[in-house]
Amino acid sequence: MTYAARRLLLAVPLLFGMSLLIFGLMRLVPGDPAVVVLGFKATPEGVKALREAFHLDEPVVAQYLRWLAGVVRGDFGLDFRQNEPIGRMILDRLPVTIELTLLASLTAAVVGVPLGLLGGGRRGGAADRAALAVGLVGVSIPDFWLGIMLILSLSLWAGLFPSAGFVPLGEAPLENLLSLALPALTLAVSRAAVLGRLTRAAVLDVVHRPFVQYARAKGLGEGAILFRHVLPNAAIPVVTVLGLQIGYMLGGAIVVEMIFTLPGVGRMTLDAVLERNYPVVQSTVLVIGAMFMFVNLITDLLYGAIDPRVRRQ
C-alpha cells in the first residue's frame, strides 16, 4: 500500500473524530436553534413544531447518526434558516475561500522565503537585523487590527483598493484581484513573518556545512550558493511550515472574510454559529478539516520531489 493511500485511510478516523467533536461542541453552545430562527415570533407551539422539523426533539445520538449518514452519502442536510441544501451553499462559497487562501499563501511565500534567505545568508548584518525586525512586527500584528488599518489607509484614505465586497474571477479578473488584495495581504503578513523566521533558521543550519564551504572555495557567488545549494537543502522545514500555514489560513479566513464582507465559507460558518445553525457549522468545519488534511498530504508528497532521500515507497 502506498504512502498516499495509507494517509487517506488514516484521514477517515480523524474526520470521524472531528465530526464527533464539533457535533458535541455545538450542543454545548447556549440557545435553542428553533427559538433563534423564529425570533420575536417564537411561541411554544411554533418552537415545538420547528424542533420536530429539524429533528432536534430526537436523542442526541440519533441526531448525530442521522447527520453522519447523510454526510457519508454526500448530503449535508438543509440550512435551518434558508432551507437550502448545505452542500450547494458550500460549493457556492468555497471558491472565494480557496482563492483568498491561495493568494495569501503565495504572498507569504514570496515575501517570507526571500526575507529569511537574505537574513540567514548574512547573519548579524544589516539585512539580517532588518529581517528579524520585520518578522517580529509581522508576528505581533493581529489580523483583525491589520485589516482595519489597511481599509482605513489604502482604501478609504488612498482609494487604491475597495474596502469590501467581492467580484468573481470569471466576471472581471482585474476587479477580482483588487477585491482580494487587502484581504490576502491581511492574511499573509503574520504567516510571511513566521515563514521568514523559519527559513532563516533553516538556512543558518545549512550555510556552514562542508558542501557550502566547498562551493565558496570554487568561487561561486553568494547568490548562486544560496539559491542552488542552500535553499534546496533547507526547503523541507520551509515546505512543512508553508503547508501548515495554508491550513491555518483556511481557518483564519473567518475573521478576514467578516472584516471585508467576503461571501466565503468562513463568513458562512461564523454566521451559522451566531444563528445556532448546527448542520451548517458541522458541515463547514468538516469540509475545512478535510481540506487541511489534504494540504498536509500534498506537503508530505512534495518531500520526495525536493529531496529523493526522503521518498516513501
Separation CA 91–CA 110 (nearest Å): 29
pLDDT in tens, 246-277: 877 887 788 898 889 888 898 888 888 887 88
Residue written as grid cell 436553534: 33
Separation CA 253–CA 264 (nearest Å): 8
What is the rounded radius of gyration, in angstroms, for the C-alpha atoms of the chain? 24
Separation CA 98–CA 205 (nearest Å): 34
Joined together, the cell numbers standing for residue 210 give 562542508
**Would you call 85 helix, strand, or coil by DSSP?**
strand
**Would you call 8 helix, strand, or coil by DSSP?**
helix
Separation CA 225–CA 216 (nearest Å): 7
Q: What residue spans of 156-262 are helical by DSSP H?
A: 173-206, 210-217, 222-225, 231-233, 235-259
CATH topology of domain 86-310: MetI-like fold (1.10.3720)
**Single pTM value for the model:** 0.83
Separation CA 292–CA 304 (nearest Å): 20
Joined together, the cell numbers standing for residue 285 give 468545519
Task: Give the containing element (helix H, strand E) for 6.
Answer: helix 3-28
pLDDT in tens, 192-251: 888 888 888 887 777 777 777 767 777 777 667 777 777 777 777 788 788 878 877 887
